[in-house]
Chains A and B, each alone.
Chain A
């Protein structure tokens, strides 16, 4: 039990579909993150939320749309994706966005395949 739960674990979607990834944490953390992990590439930080407010968006294409309705839940809405968007999407949380000394807690990820 990592404390951060991601659903679904696997997702296959066509390029015209719309789907959402969900992340939930009950660790009392105030910051949440989306990462993209592609084969043979470094971890890519996509979005950072602090107290439900987006504080960082690393030039991510608009076909990825995050939502953070409260400090325990984070969504990544997907639409008109491309095959190169196939990757493992990881959610993480931490005590706060400005305090990194405690590290992050990661979920198990959603393996996304775009066909």
Chain B
């Protein structure tokens, strides 16, 4: 069945460092791919999405490119801030529901 695999965290970075959070997927068909972010004490918020191969989703300095050949959707940011500390979830559009990864915690220190 469809599935999403994310790198385990926590990812610990200093402010202004480069961020990559890996996400790979297994799916039949051509799903849409998403990154959600969950700040402490909050629900999940849609960060960005891509609906077809080679699409790049971007928002708030974060980017992810839909790579069909490697079945990946890695999240990147060139310079992280302390305020980016949160849990990041990769997800794909399954046949009848969103399929979520287990989440990756990012901790950014000043």
Contacts and interface: CB of A to CB of B under 8 A. Distances in A.
Q: Do A and B come from one complex?
A: yes
Interface of A: 2, 4, 6, 42-43, 45, 48, 56, 90, 92, 97-98, 100-109, 111
Contact of A106 (B44, B51, B94, B97): B44
Interface of B: 31-32, 34, 36, 41-46, 49, 51, 89, 91, 93-98, 100, 102-103
A43 B103 CA distance: 9
A109 to B, nearest CB: 5
Given A42-B100, A42-B102, A98-B96, A103 B46 contact: yes
Contacts of A42: 100, 102-103
Given A48-B97, A100-B94, 19 more contacts: A2-B43, A4-B43, A43-B89, A43-B100, A43-B103, A45-B97, A56-B97, A92-B44, A98-B96, A100-B93, A100-B95, A101-B93, A103-B49, A103-B98, A104-B46, A104-B98, A105-B46, A106-B44, A107-B43
B102 A100 contact: no
Contacts of B49: 103
